Amino acid sequence: MKPPRIFSLTVCNALLLLLPCGCSQRGEKATAEAASEAAGVSFNAKSGLRVRPETAKFIGLKIADVEERQIASALEFSARVYRAANEAQFVSLQPAISTESRASGVIGPVQAALLREGQVVAVKAEGTDALSARIEAVKPRLGQSNAPVEVLVGIEDTQARLAQGTFVSVSVPLNSEKRVVSIPRTALLRTSEGDFVYTVSGESFVRAPVKLGAINHEWTEVTDGLYAGDQIVVSPVMTLWLAELQSLRGGKACADGH
């Protein structure tokens, strides 16, 4: 028996191992469907991905039940400083120097509903310690309930460490005592098209959109798209996503890497 090939652990090579595209050896004639079947993975737009048992074992496929639990969490989002603390504020005839920076960020409407004006938060920029801050305003768009919401943050910056244009991470502690539908963060697929999970449907795995609530380092609240008792893939989600892309793009997902 021939010894197995050794592949370097790059994303493209991992995909090549799972889904050989045939770019270098088989030419353009090999289709994505044939490559997927040969690797033990097939995709159908209606039924989703199917993975052979031996392939599932090889990639370490893990499935778990969706549960309800309490999440000790913090809402985190990025914001950009639009006014530095050392800028003069012309609020009267005599300009005054403020010790507070101002930053603006954008979050989803579900997360925005968890915030209130005056709420104490923590802000951190790269290379700095956490700074005390507060929510100054939550500004939803009138008549657009599903539109992104702008959040204004006032930051105590007595040493003027945050220059205009600096990006900061805003952390809002959320102390919830209720049990909520939640999933491991490893199960979450975040793309430019939105947030997704792979749900178990018979012998297939279907990518389903979800809406998120509170998030911490381990768990993510799901406010829409899943119910307790549903089964989902917890790992390796990115491998399944690459396999789906391989089929959707007609076998050209790794062509640019050659």
- Model confidence pLDDT, tens digit, residues 86-97: 775 544 445 555
Enumerate residues 6+ apart whose C-beta is below 8 A from 46: none
Residues of the chain with pLDDT > 90, as a percent, come to: 52
Residues 152 and 181 in one domain: no
Q: Which domain holds residue 144?
A: 72-175
Residues 208 and 118 in one domain: no
Does residue 30 have a pLDDT over 80?
Answer: no
Looking at residue 61, what is its pLDDT? 97
Q: Which of 156, 175, 194 is the last residue of a domain?
A: 175
Other CB atoms within a 10 A radius of the CB of residue 120 amount to 10
Residues 90 and 156 in one domain: yes
Q: What is the C-alpha separation between 149 and 203, in angstroms, rounded?
A: 39
Confidence bin at 176 (pLDDT 50/70/90): low
Amino acid at 74: A
Residues 103 and 169 in one domain: yes
CA atoms in the 13 A half-sphere facing the CB of 116: 4
Query: Where is pLDDT greater, at 151 or 173?
Result: 151
Does residue 10 have a pLDDT over 50?
Answer: no
Query: Where is pLDDT greater, at 164 or 91?
Result: 164
CATH of the domain at 161: 2.40.30.170
Say how many domains are in the chain: 3
- The whole-model pTM stands at 0.54
Confidence bin at 59 (pLDDT 50/70/90): very high
Q: What is the C-alpha separation between 167 and 134, in angstroms, rounded?
A: 16
Mean pLDDT on 219-233? 95
Q: Which of 138, 157, 175 is the last residue of a domain?
A: 175
The single-letter DSSP state of residue 9 is: S
Enumerate residues 6+ apart whose C-beta is below 8 A from 100: 85, 154, 155, 156, 157
Query: Where is pLDDT greater, at 12 or 192?
Result: 192
Looking at residue 45, what is its pLDDT? 87
Mean pLDDT on 6-35? 43
Looking at residue 210, what is its pLDDT? 97
Residue 4 lies in a domain: no
Q: What is the C-alpha separation between 152 and 110, in angstroms, rounded?
A: 17
Mean pLDDT on 158-164? 91
What integer best gives the mean pLDDT of the chain? 81
Residues 141 and 93 in one domain: yes
Residues 210 and 82 in one domain: no
Confidence bin at 81 (pLDDT 50/70/90): very high
Residue 243 lies in a domain: no
Residues 86 and 113 in one domain: yes
Residue 1 lies in a domain: no
Looking at residue 24, what is its pLDDT? 43
What is the DSSP annotation of 170-224?
EEEEEE--S-EEEEEGGG-EEETTEEEEEEEETTEEEEEE-EEEEE-SSEEEEEE
CATH of the domain at 226: 2.40.420.20
Per-residue HEC secondary structure of 106-126 comes to EECHHHHCCCCCCCEEEEECC
